Structure formats: structure tokens, C-alpha cells
Amino acid sequence: MGLGFRRIIIFAIALCSGAVAAYQLVNMPGPAPVVQAAMAPPPPVINTRKVVVAAANIPFGKRLNADLLKEIDWPADAVPPGVYDSKSAIIGQAGGAPVVLTPLTANEPLLPGKISRPGGRATLSSLLGKGMKAVTVRVNDVAGVAGFVLPGDMVDVLVTRENAGNGTNQSYTDVLLQGVKVLAIDQDTNDKLDRPAPAKAVTLEVSMAQAQKVALGAAVGKLSLALRQFGVREGEPARRINISELVSGMGDKTKTGPFAMVGVTRGVEREEYKVPRAGAVN
């Protein structure tokens, strides 16, 4: 076999090998198709509107300015009625900026009942409900529940007095009013105080008839307060408590002796009295 023939055979083999390699390359399976991740549904569109809120805690009586307010987006279907939608609607009115009538916390919406009219001033009368009056009760640190009564609390008003009858002085206590709202302690109307403080005067929200009772009670006896559970305003059965009920066994005929000693506390002072037992013969 000649040298030229061998070359032809080698060339033919190389050509066939290249053709096979090219065929395999063309028919090689491609990469696995990428499975497209399922697209998450778009978030629901929430309609909003601008609402003016307090930019920080604002105390009672503070005159408003732009730095104390800010405008934020608020869900349109949850906007409080009467809310302001711009700072200019509050402080841009003629007559000057209003003042805060009730303490505001940061991000609390401003409502007409929480601020005065433009150029107005903070007065206790602005906190009164329709037809209600404000009456002040003088108390000491004991009668004022040791300073634990705060603006916004509900209290009962008690009156203690001595009744001169049948030649003896008989002390007793009546419930004068129940479930009245505290408007102010001394001259502080802040209902967001975080600590109690002793007070000399407590201002209550009452009706006209209740105001008359408080005035008369203060004139004939000594007033004191009983703090109620938060949010409870309903009245409850009450009766007069007299001095004979202060000691267990008073009026018990099995007790020896016609008299018993009874201690009475008025404010921070305590006195002892000798009183006849019920049914005892003089």
C-alpha cells in the first residue's frame, strides 16, 4: 500500500471522527430550563389621606406652632371625624394659633375638642360636658386619698358631720355623691400624670343639683373622697354609718358594762369617746 493511500485513509478517519463529534455537540441536551418562581400577588392598595398629629407630647395650655405638629398618611377609612388635614388649617387661621385643652401624646390626631379656637386660651370650662358644672372640694392628704386621685378618675364624695340630738353628739357619715369625674387636682388638669401628688383641692364635674349638695355638705360637715375602680361610674347601695358601728359588738347586750370606748379619726387626728351600749340602762 502506497504512502498516498495511507494519507487518504487517515484523512477519511479524521473527517468521520469530526463529523461524529459535531453531531454529538449539536444534539447534546441543553441545560435544564429554569422554572420561573411564582410571582407574589401585589399588596392591596390602601387609600390614605393627610392627618395632622402631635409631633411630640404636648401639655395642657401649650400654644401650638408648626414645630409641634406634623402631617402623616392615615388610612382613609379609619380617619377620626373632625380631624385636621393640614397644619395651616390649625395655625394659619386669623386670630392666632390655638392652645391645647387636653394633653396630647406623640402621634395623636388633633381634634377640635382638644384645642381651643384660634387665639383662644386654655380654660377649665372647655373641659366641661354639656350642662355640667365645676365645683372644687378642699381636701387634705388623707381626705384626698393620699394624693392618689388624678384628673380623669371617678370618685365618691362623703360627708361626715355631728348631729346634736337628744342631748348627745352623734357623728355619722353619708354618701353625698357617687361616680363623679375629677377634672383637676389643685390647678393641674393633666390626665396623663404618671405619679400621684398630694393635693389641697380637687375640682369635680357635677350637675347643678350636685354642686348644691357639695356646697351644703362643705358648710355643715367635712368632705372626703373615695376613689372608684377605673371606668366604673354606676351607683351602688349606700346607707348612713354612725359612730355606734365603728366597734364590733356595739349594741350586743351580752357585753358587760353600760359603756364602751370608741375611737374616731378625723383627718389625721384620732379621739376616744365613751358611748353607751345599745339597750344599756343609765
Q: What is the mean pLDDT of residues 23-41?
A: 63
Q: What is the Cα–Cα distance from 222 to 120, expressed in whole angstroms?
A: 37
What pLDDT was estimated at residue 99? Answer: 83
DSSP class per residue in 99-161: BBSS-B-TTPBP-GGGB-STT----GGGGPPTT-EEEEEE--TTTTGGGT--TT-EEEEEEEE
What pLDDT was estimated at residue 251? Answer: 45
Structural domains of the chain ordered from first start: 48-122 (3.90.1210.10), 127-242 (no CATH), 246-276 (no CATH)
C-alpha cell of residue 177: 355623691
Q: What is the Cα–Cα distance from 160 to 171, expressed in whole angstroms?
A: 7
Contact 167, 232 (CB under 8 A): no
Residues 6 or more apart whose CB falls under 8 angstroms from that of 140 comprise 200, 267, 268
**DSSP 3-state of 68:** helix
- Side-chain half-sphere CA neighbours of 102 within 13 A: 16
> Is it the case that residue 153 has pLDDT exceeding 70?
yes
> Is it the case that residue 119 has pLDDT exceeding 70?
no
> Is it the case that residue 253 has pLDDT exceeding 60?
no
* Type and span of the H or E element at 18: helix 3-26
**DSSP 3-state of 245:** helix
| 61 pLDDT tier (thresholds 50, 70, 90) | confident
| Residue showing cell 398618611 | 73
Q: What is the Cα–Cα distance from 56 to 105, expressed in whole angstroms?
A: 6
Q: What is the Cα–Cα distance from 225 to 142, expressed in whole angstroms?
A: 9
What pLDDT was estimated at residue 216? Answer: 92
